[in-house]
Amino acid sequence: MSVQTIPANTTAAYLAGDGTLFIRGARLVAGSDAASAIIRETDGSGRVLAKLSAGAALAVDEWNPPGPVAYQANVHVTITGTGPQLNLFV
């Protein structure tokens, strides 16, 4: 399993590839205030794979699906908050 760290206050595509790809989970760590992350397939209007939210001061929310979740092309991530960190597990 590998991990990709997504920077704070991001709206962008990640984990790009060809064909059917898989994501195994995600972990959101809040910064100084509450944080949220939405992970979608393909783009900002794609199928929602996961929504995470964490309260302030390093609170954590994790998404641990029972098995790998398939997606096409890439995932699109939107993160809000001050200084949060999102790790995607692939």
Confidence of residue 79 (pLDDT cuts 50, 70, 90): very high
Domain 3-89 class, CATH top level: mainly beta
Is the entire prediction scored with pTM above 0.85? yes
Query: How many angstroms from the chain centroid is the CA of residue 56?
Result: 18
Q: What is the pLDDT of residues 24-54, one digit of tens each?
A: 999 999 999 999 999 999 888 899 999 999 9
